[in-house]
Amino acid sequence: MKINNFGPSGINPYKKQMNKLDGAAARTDKKTDKVEISSAAKEMQQLSQISAERKAKVEELKLQVQNGTYKMDAKETAKSLLDFYKK
C-alpha cells in the first residue's frame, strides 16, 4: 500500500488553492480594455450625419404617409429603379 502526502504538507491543503486565487486576482487587476478611434473613422462619422434639410424632408414624408396624403408616381419610381440598375 502506498501513502501519499505523508507529513506536514497535508496540514493545510487549501493554502495552495488560496495562493493561486490571490495570484489570479492580482493579474486581472492590471489588464484594462482600451478603444481608440482613428481620425479616418471620425471623419466617416461626421460625413454620415444626416443634414438638417434631409431630416426635414423625411419628417414631412412621414407626416404625409401617416395622414394618407402621400402620392407616389409609379413612372418616376420605375425610372429611378432602371437608372440605379443601369449603373
- Going by the DSSP 8-state scheme, the letter that residue 86 receives in this structure is H
**Nearest residue to 20 via CA among 28, 30, 10:** 28
∠ CA(7), CA(13), CA(15), 5° rounding?
A: 120
| Res. 65 pLDDT band, cuts 50 70 90 | very high
| Res. 78 pLDDT band, cuts 50 70 90 | very high
Kindly state the helix (H) or strand (E) to which residue 6 belongs, with its residue range. Answer: none
Q: Residue 75's domain spans which residues?
A: 46-86
What's the mean pLDDT in 5-33?
66
**71 located within any domain:** yes
**26 located within any domain:** no
Higher pLDDT, 58 or 21: 58
**18 located within any domain:** no
Return the C-alpha cell found at 49.
450625419
Provide the domain count of the chain.
Answer: 1
Q: Are 25 and 18 in contact (CB under 8 A)?
A: no
- The verdict on pTM exceeding 0.75 is no
